[in-house]
Structure 1
Amino acid sequence: MSHTAGRTTSESDRALHARLTGFLSDVELDGVKATGERLIDAAGGIEELPGHKVMVAYGGGKDSTYVVAFVRAVQLHLAVHYDRTFTLRVANMRHAGVPLAVMENIDRVYRALGLLDDERAELLTIDHTLVRPFRVDLPLPEHLVAINRVDVLMNGHRAAGDGRPTFCNSCNLAVADFYGRAAWFDGGVDAVMTGDSRREQLLYSAWIMRLAKACGVDVAECRSMGFQGILTALRGIGDSYFRELFGDDSDTELAEREVSTGDRSLQPEFVSIYDLVSYRVHDHWDLIVDFLGFRFDDLAFSFSESDCANPTLMAHLRGLRSQHVQGRSYDDGISEYLELAEELMRKKEMPQNLIDLALSRYDSPEKRAHRRALSADFAREAFGLSEDALVAMVCSPFTDRGERLQDFLDRCHPARSAEADRLHAVLRAETGDDAEAVSWLEEVSGLTITHLRTLYGSFLVDFGNTETIISRVRAGDPHKHRVATVDPRTGAPALELISGR
């Protein structure tokens, strides 16, 4: 859209452009200009640029904040120098693990970049299938929270609470669905700007296709379909994944989680800015923190990014597993998770001050106790999960036909120790109407008796082989590390491969 508001809008653009680009290096300014020229060519010339629509997926973390700022700089550069520019769609995805602090960061960034009242900006919040204009206090749909809660519990019981399978597997498939819905909403977009390098995109695409092929997807057909083909492959992976999690006859769960694949006639181009910029946050700290008002929240900033609080819960689950499954202390598990977290932060080249900030929140017994209480509160408020439900998840007492049920009762609910046979009968659906036992099982686990019976007929995933899609996904996930621990059976030193974020 051209500047229909006339001189005032143009002056506003020039002032904002000057302030924003004042935080960019010469290399970044060259990148802004090069990206602008590329978009002019893609649109078919400067006169066609107002009809061109560019999307940025905004997770609300520090890295995607930088991408939003960079693309806004490109939009303003074109407006100032050519009196023509593109429409910018910024879409943010939410789930139950996204605290209000993330939305407040997004709101501050939008305000600093002048996006909230710019007619050339489309700011969307996507809550699963619900697409709405951004508003900082937009309530999270209860239905989405319920889906997220069930996914965390079902994944967590199969993985004994290991971080990535518990929180990220279903979420990553939801991200694919988000991209489809965001890119094709209301006529679609022409381009998607990303901070991922071309190499990262190719490696990710190859991994998706390998996984899809193992799930029986026609990957040759997918490869001929561009972006939609990637989403189609991910839909096939998701179908196999959720069948493994919920069972073949779980039509409702499968339909709720199906990845959207969009419209084949509209194929947005993916444009990487990776080679044009630096992603080290300390290279543009003044831009992100001082100009954009980004804050590293106590919950939302957890080890690797600043877009959700689930990594805090991953650490919490490791502590609970150490305490309730292995008979060690909660702090032992936290120390092991911090070893993983520090390794991941260094691999991501996070600045030392942020590494120190993340680790310092656990550097005394008092702080660890505070983090434990904070984690428990967040699990309850965000997902509706009690500590009993989290403990049950790390113990995984229902899988493998309740192989660990007696031990779980003895350790965590000794008043029920003598009722193992009764509970087994309920889980096998052999009893008529044992309402009290059903009620207790549902209360202690956070799951319905239907889901508990599905777990009873499932098995705890062995991540040492790749016979299941759940184990294959983690096998290809780089966010893992062997931590020094103790074999709970022998007390001898041991190494354990754990995952997290």
Structure 2
Amino acid sequence: MSAIHEQAMNYVYQQVLQRLIGHFNRAERTALQLLIQRIVVAAGGMEQVGDYKVLVAHGGGEVSSYTLALLRAAQLSIAGRAPRTFQLRVATLRHSGMTQGTLDTLHRGYSQLFFHDDPRVELLMVENHQVLPFNHQRPASATGREVSQRNMLMMGHLSSGDVRATLCNETYLALGDFYQRVTAWDGGVHALVSGDCARKQGQLLAWLKKTAQAAGVQVPAGRPATLNGLFGRMDQWSDDIYRDLYGEHYVAKSDTSPGGHRHLAYIGIADLLDGIDRGCAPLLTEFMAYNPDPLGFHLSHPTFANPMLMAHLRGLQAESLRALDYEAGVEGFMLQAANYLRRRQVCEALITQTVSREGRAVSAQHAQRFFGLDEGQLICLLFSPFIHHGERLEGYLRQCHSGMLVALPELHKVLQGKPAAEMLQQWVTDASGLPLPLLQHLYRKRPMPGGPGSTARGCRQERSTPTADMALQLSGR
């Protein structure tokens, strides 16, 4: 970079900083100064800050978007008063529920913060266990989508059609692998910066722990001494859960890259965001042009992680399993989610549409587009008719495929692996969306006791466990 070009770029960065700070109120300016102080202290002083690299995990939510804007302001502020500033790595986990709207929001925010041409910033995406440069226009991996679909179906069947476990577990179980990869990749980072409060971190860890326990995984009583150790434990739980889920059909993923910095620091800033109404803050709504996709999956709230698709599943559940109208199931869920949807500023028109026949069609298209599942396969998942030697198979056929009742004995033979008509083998595959070997594996499996994440209360009760306390310790609160 020539001296003239460097001077021109520095001028551009100072313009970005001025525009950024122009959207700060007094509380946000104070938060910025405290964040700068924390980063400089963690780096070992202003002389060392140029060699310091921090990571923020960005999923498109308002907390991570806000955190990212503060970090950019901190990075550019330090650059204006010191020869060098810290390096910033921004990483996104691309999962099956991530919409194009969410990817566009990420890209728009990065452009507003002038990230794309700044050598001090890395923009990464992890998809199907691969670390890739961020590209909001890259099509979703076909292989990754197939794996996600299979995981979702297997988890859904073994949790007896638990809606939250079906939609959330596959994404939550990927977090340990995600953090290990993005903290170790290409020399690693020194610190993780997060705006999530300790309560939400505790809920996530409790969710993972509960899922592991439901799968019969041994959960150690002690706490990892480091953040790296915590991510390693999360990844191990995930592997153990999938090993139990698939049995002899389990395929190990590629190892995460070893190395990186041994003692990953944690810089929590949730306390700096207390009292700031992020949803209405000009920093997000005006400068970052933040516009969350109401159809997108949000990691921060497992109870309502994908509200429109969750409402659709509740509607199908009411119609197929509880002899109620589809609309009654949707309305029941939307009533539970009302406060959350208001906080996310989901428009009333979309909420009203969700309960309508048109909303059902939109939700069905959403499930087909992101998960490759039609309505019949979703209903099959909610019944979970194949587990525990097909104890629910007769009820499923009677309710959904009465014409197949005559073939019930032969369907049991198919699932037991005995010789049977090829037409019946194809029928169970088409009805479920799963290959025959996995259906035969499910036939031999018992359901997960209680269904992981089956109640919101379960997560809250877990906050006092050693695992949740570990999150409090790591966040320094």
The bucket for the TM-score relative to the shorter chain is 0.7 to 0.9
Over 3 Å counting, the alpha-carbon distance change for 1:185 and 1:123 in structure 2 is same
Over 3 Å counting, the alpha-carbon distance change for 1:404 and 1:250 in structure 2 is same
1:82-481 equivalences in 2 (<5 Å): 82-198=82-198, 201=201, 215-220=217-222, 223-224=224-225, 226-247=226-247, 249-252=248-251, 255-256=252-253, 260=256, 262-263=258-259, 266-278=262-274, 281-282=277-278, 284-300=280-296, 310-342=306-338, 345=340, 351=343, 354=344, 357=346, 360-363=349-352, 368-431=356-419, 434-463=421-450, 470=452, 476-478=458-460
Instruction: Name the residue aligned to 1:9.
Output: 9
Deviation at 1:262, TM superposition (A): 4.7
Over 3 Å counting, the alpha-carbon distance change for 1:102 and 1:26 in structure 2 is same
Question: Aligned equivalents of 1:210 and 1:317: distance in 2?
Answer: 22
Whether the 8 Å contact between 1:23 and 1:284 is mirrored in structure 2 is no
Instruction: Name the residue aligned to 2:48.
Output: 48
Deviation at 1:363, TM superposition (A): 2.4
Whether the 8 Å contact between 2:385 and 2:391 is mirrored in structure 1 is yes
SS at match of 1:270: strand
SS at match of 1:47: coil
What is the Cα-based RMSD across aligned positions, in Å? Answer: 3.2
Question: Aligned equivalents of 1:364 and 1:110: distance in 2?
Answer: 32
> What TM-score, normalized by structure 2, do the two folds share?
0.87
Question: Aligned equivalents of 2:191 and 2:47: distance in 1?
Answer: 17
Question: Aligned equivalents of 1:173 and 1:208: distance in 2?
Answer: 7
> What TM-score, normalized by structure 1, do the two folds share?
0.83
After superposing the two structures, state which structure 1 stretch, 27-36 or 454-463, moved more: 454-463
Question: Aligned equivalents of 1:181 and 1:380: distance in 2?
Answer: 30
Over 3 Å counting, the alpha-carbon distance change for 1:88 and 1:105 in structure 2 is same
Whether the 8 Å contact between 2:91 and 2:123 is mirrored in structure 1 is yes
Deviation at 1:455, TM superposition (A): 1.5
Question: Aligned equivalents of 2:279 and 2:454: distance in 1?
Answer: 36
Whether the 8 Å contact between 1:99 and 1:300 is mirrored in structure 2 is yes
Over 3 Å counting, the alpha-carbon distance change for 1:450 and 1:78 in structure 2 is same
Higher relative contact order (CA 8 A, sep 6+): 2
Instruction: Name the residue aligned to 1:483.
Output: none
Over 3 Å counting, the alpha-carbon distance change for 1:210 and 1:229 in structure 2 is farther
Question: Aligned equivalents of 2:29 and 2:359: distance in 1?
Answer: 41
Corresponding letter in the other structure for 1:412: C
Deviation at 1:278, TM superposition (A): 3.8
- Identity across matched positions, percent: 30
Deviation at 1:301, TM superposition (A): 7.4
Q: Which runs of 5+ in 1 are unaligned?
A: 481-501
Corresponding letter in the other structure for 2:351: Y
Question: Aligned equivalents of 1:203 and 1:54: distance in 2?
Answer: 24
Over 3 Å counting, the alpha-carbon distance change for 1:260 and 1:168 in structure 2 is farther
Deviation at 1:280, TM superposition (A): 5.5
Corresponding letter in the other structure for 1:142: A
Corresponding letter in the other structure for 1:373: A
Question: Aligned equivalents of 1:161 and 1:211: distance in 2?
Answer: 14
Q: Which runs of 5+ in 2 are unaligned?
A: 463-477
Question: Aligned equivalents of 1:260 and 1:206: distance in 2?
Answer: 23
SS at match of 1:361: helix
Question: Aligned equivalents of 2:204 and 2:140: distance in 1?
Answer: 30
Over 3 Å counting, the alpha-carbon distance change for 1:238 and 1:364 in structure 2 is closer
Deviation at 1:202, TM superposition (A): 6.4
Question: Aligned equivalents of 2:318 and 2:338: distance in 1?
Answer: 19
Deviation digits for residues 421-478 of structure 1 (CA, Å, limit 9, x no counterpart): 11111001122x5221111111110001111112111233442xxxx8x369977424
Instruction: Report the count of equivalent residues.
Output: 459
Question: Aligned equivalents of 1:8 and 1:320: distance in 2?
Answer: 58
Over 3 Å counting, the alpha-carbon distance change for 1:123 and 1:117 in structure 2 is same
Question: Aligned equivalents of 1:204 and 1:440: distance in 2?
Answer: 38
